[in-house]
Amino acid sequence: MRNLSIIASTLVLSVIAISGCKMYSPGGNAFLNSPDSAATWESTEEFPKTITLIDTRSGEKIFVMEIPVGKQLVIDFEPDGGNNAVETPDLMRWEIFDVGTGWGALNNAMTVPNRWSRRLDIVIRPSSEYAPQSEDQAMRVDTVEDQPDWWSPEGGEIDVYDPVDGYE
């Protein structure tokens, strides 16, 4: 009976630990981070980022992504997944997610040079940008049509609240 409770406790703690960790986060995964882990960059209004992958043998820019504000780019390199053993032996998988996304499939892929022949440049774009308005964000009420009846010149009944403890 005691062994069963120890096994059950271990299983529950493992599930909690795994569900609590995020695979995609800037700086890497706290539990499973390694040089071969997926890398994540967030683009914010203060720091909009552009990621460029350069073939160091030729200086060619082979991938450029201006990460939209409010999104994050996740890149994962798979050794020996490419289509040319000499020129592009590795496979780069990538995806754009909303900021804070911890899991998800990397649906885009391209073959790239090996780790010794590529460089990732991260640049903060010079101008501030604004994130697009979220679809579930509350609408603004700054036009006359959106104001309550009592706001108009014709007037109307004022909505009065009766707070019990002095707060709404």
What is residue 113's predicted lDDT score, i.e. its pLDDT? 94
Structure token pair of residue 142: 């700054």
What is residue 85's predicted lDDT score, i.e. its pLDDT? 86
Amino acid at 60: E
Provide the residue-wise pLDDT of the chain in tens; the chain has 168 residues: 667 767 766 665 555 455 444 577 776 666 666 666 788 999 998 899 999 999 999 999 999 999 999 999 999 999 988 888 888 999 999 999 999 888 889 999 999 999 999 999 999 998 777 777 667 666 665 666 667 677 777 777 776 666 665 555
What is residue 19's predicted lDDT score, i.e. its pLDDT? 44
Domain that holds residue 85: 24-127
Number of domain units in the chain: 1
What is residue 56's predicted lDDT score, i.e. its pLDDT? 95
- Whether the Cβ atoms of residue 71 and residue 94 lie closer than 8 Å to each other: no
Within-domain flag for 53: yes
What is residue 16's predicted lDDT score, i.e. its pLDDT? 47
Collapsed DSSP state (helix, strand, coil) of residue 1 = coil
Cα–Cα distance for residue pair 70/46, rounded to 1 Å: 10
Within-domain flag for 144: no
* Cα dihedral sign, 98-102-104-109: positive
pTM of the model: 0.64
- Whether the Cβ atoms of residue 41 and residue 26 lie closer than 8 Å to each other: yes
106 CB-contact burial (10 Å; exposed 0-12 / middle 13-18 / buried 19+): middle
Within-domain flag for 3: no
Within-domain flag for 47: yes
- Whether the Cβ atoms of residue 52 and residue 123 lie closer than 8 Å to each other: yes
Within-domain flag for 164: no
Count CB-CB contacts under 10 A for residue 116: 7
Within-domain flag for 121: yes
What is residue 153's predicted lDDT score, i.e. its pLDDT? 72
Within-domain flag for 163: no
What is residue 8's predicted lDDT score, i.e. its pLDDT? 64
Within-domain flag for 143: no
Amino acid at 163: P
